[in-house]
Amino acid sequence: MSEKINYTKAFEELQQIVEEMEQGEITVDELSDKVKRATQLIKICKTKLRSTEEDVNKILRELQSSDDDR
């Protein structure tokens, strides 16, 4: 997965794939490729969410630590 795509773009593309699947717009021939792409997009989103959660938790710990030092 060498491509660089941000969370918003990945999520939007994933939503589009889901819509196409729900509306029956994906042919059997396209299905495998769409599922593979959706899997890649989910990984991108999960990685970004995990990273963001870690960053927020780090900031909160730092804030808590600075409050405790007072």
- Residue 2, domain member (yes or no): no
Q: How many CB atoms are located within 10 Å of the residue 10 CB?
A: 20
- Interatomic CA distance for residues 34 and 40, integer angstroms: 10
What range does the domain containing 31 cover?
A: 7-68
- Residue 44, domain member (yes or no): yes
- Residue 28, domain member (yes or no): yes
Domain count, the chain: 1
pLDDT value at residue 15: 97
Rounded average pLDDT over 40-60: 96
Rounded average pLDDT over 7-25: 95
pLDDT value at residue 2: 43
Contact 19, 47 (CB under 8 A): no
In the predicted model, what is the mean pLDDT of the chain? Answer: 91
- Residue 21, domain member (yes or no): yes
66 pLDDT tier (thresholds 50, 70, 90): confident
